[in-house]
Amino acid sequence: MSNIKITDELLIEELKIRFEEKKNSLEKLEKLTKELKEVNKKLGESEALKSHFISNITNEIVNPFTSIVVLSKNITLVKEGDWEKVNRMARLIHSEAFNLDFQLKNIFVAAEIESGELFMEVSNVKVDQLIESVIESFTPETEKKQLKFEFITDNGEDRSFTFKTDSEKLRIILSNLVDNAVKFSKNNKIIIRRWLEGKELFISVQDFGIGISEKNQQVIFDRFKRLDSGINSLNRGHGLGLSINKAILDFLDGDIKIKSEKNSGTVFTVSIPEPDQETGSFSADGNEMIFGDDEIF
Amino acid sequence: MERPKHFLYPGAIFANTEPYYITTILGSCVAVCLYDPVIKIGGMNHFMLPLWNGQGLASPRYGNIAIKKIIEKLEALGSSRSNIKAKIFGGAEIIATNINQFMIGERNIRIAKDILHEENIQILSSSLGGKLGRKIIFDTYTGEVRQKYVGEKK
């Protein structure tokens, strides 16, 4: 009899395990179905965005170009000696051209990412100097909005800090963050911080603008997403910048985080690890092929 | 046998008409090596997740995009579809992958097989699954792929 009793217990135990497994797989299935629905919805949205894309892009390229053409023609008509007027119009041309250049670069980078033709060009980058040069490139824009940058590093005034990374990609990331901060800043200050945690580089860009609601923080990296979109000409840009940043950071194995409160501003923090030494030297190692234990396919 | 080497990063693709050694390191990621034995060219992708979920850029980080892209790329370089052959690698189940992405290696393998099947591309050989990462070197001129198992990698 005792034998049977043990078997019963075992049976119950086994049943319990089976039920648990079934419950788990049901949960997984439910989760998958939910994800699938979400993706379906996104694809629908993406399709809609795609059809608006051409008209959006047209506006953002054609409008600045029209301004540039008209303004430069007006300059040629200015009477001799009226430098003030020339200067004013040249500034406007610069501003339009700067924006246009920025947008086009982003579009090309996005195309590069989407075609998978991304390379890593690692070098010792003077990060602080790079940050300063990015800030500098926004000068006419920031003058217009009377914005001041505060740049804080853990090296004080010393700008000689170097970090192994891809400088061109870091520049794109920074430009997009600064561009975003400049666009949405209401207050007259933008704070950029740079620090090191272990072997990871951190840079944060903080503005004191309109902020981003929690719901919108979820979707902000989606391509072509512009929050609270409307005909508000103050909020230009087609939302490519942040999705590009996300994609580049994925490529660099880094991360981007948002901290924001509606109406009190936003802090974007990016973190970038130093690239893997092994992969770096791996590509350059000429003797890789002679190991005897390779399997051949 | 001396030819340039290209290290392929996750999310990128590479193909060239010149002979290359393409190398990459795979964990749960999958790499599809395409080879055209007629004109002796090849290309490789390296994707991390099976499907693009509509978030962010539609980059070759995702299998459904990466496989289509590498086929297009080879065709653009002069291959005709009927000559293209595939070898696929990776898709290991490495513990401590993201919690919400269970069986990611398995799903990466599935998508690679499914899409290659849909596109009528024959899979000549493969080394898939398991628990170990892989380091592969693809000779785009001979179509030969050398593989070595490596320790934990993403």
pLDDT for A86-142, tens place per residue? 999 998 898 889 888 888 888 888 888 888 888 888 899 999 999 999 999 988 888
Q: In whole angstroms, what is the distance from residue A136 CA to residue A78 CA?
A: 30
Interhelix angle A2-77/A83-115, rounded to 10 degrees, is 150
Is B154 domain-assigned? no
Is pLDDT of A282 > 50?
Answer: no
- Mean pLDDT over all residues of chain A? 82
CATH number of the structural domain spanning residue B54: 3.30.1330.200
Taking an 8 Å cut-off on Cβ atoms, the answer to whether B55 and A221 are in contact is: yes
In 3D space, the residue among A173, A163, A180 whose CA is nearest the CA of residue A250 turns out to be: A173
Q: Over range B135-145, report the average pLDDT.
A: 94
Q: In whole angstroms, what is the distance from residue B127 CA to residue A74 CA?
A: 67
A80: helix, coil or strand? Answer: coil
pLDDT at residue B101, rounded to an integer: 58
Nearest chain A residue to B88 by CA: give it: A297
Buried b (16+ CB within 10 A) or exposed e, B108-129: bbebbbebbeeeebeeeebbbe
Length of chain B: 154
A202: helix, coil or strand? Answer: strand
* Largest pairwise CA distance in chain B: 44
CATH tag for A1-118 (out of 3.30.470.20, 1.10.287.130, 3.40.50.700, 1.10.10.10)? 1.10.287.130
DSSP B47: B
How does pLDDT run across B89-107, given as a tens digit for each residue? Answer: 999 987 655 555 578 899 9
In chain B, the number of structural domains is 1
Catalytic residue, candidates B8, B15, B25, B29:
B29
Question: Which residues of B touch chain A, with CB atoms under 8 Å apart?
Answer: 5-7, 9-14, 21, 23, 25, 45, 51, 53-61, 65-66, 69, 87, 89, 102, 124-127, 135, 137, 144-148
pLDDT at residue A2, rounded to an integer: 53
Domain ranges of chain A: 1-118, 122-281
CATH tag for A122-281 (out of 1.10.3720.10, 3.30.420.40, 3.30.565.10, 3.40.1390.10)? 3.30.565.10
B29 in catalytic set: yes
How does pLDDT run across A197-253, given as a tens digit for each residue? Answer: 999 999 999 999 888 877 777 777 765 554 444 333 333 444 678 888 989 999 998
pLDDT at residue A272, rounded to an integer: 95
Q: Over range B28-39, report the average pLDDT.
A: 95
- Cβ-Cβ contacts under 8 Å, A286 against chain B: 5
B55: helix, coil or strand? Answer: coil
Q: Over range B114-136, report the average pLDDT.
A: 93
Q: What is the pTM of this model?
A: 0.75
Q: Do B42 and B140 form a contact (C-beta atoms < 8 A)?
A: yes
pLDDT at residue A279, rounded to an integer: 47
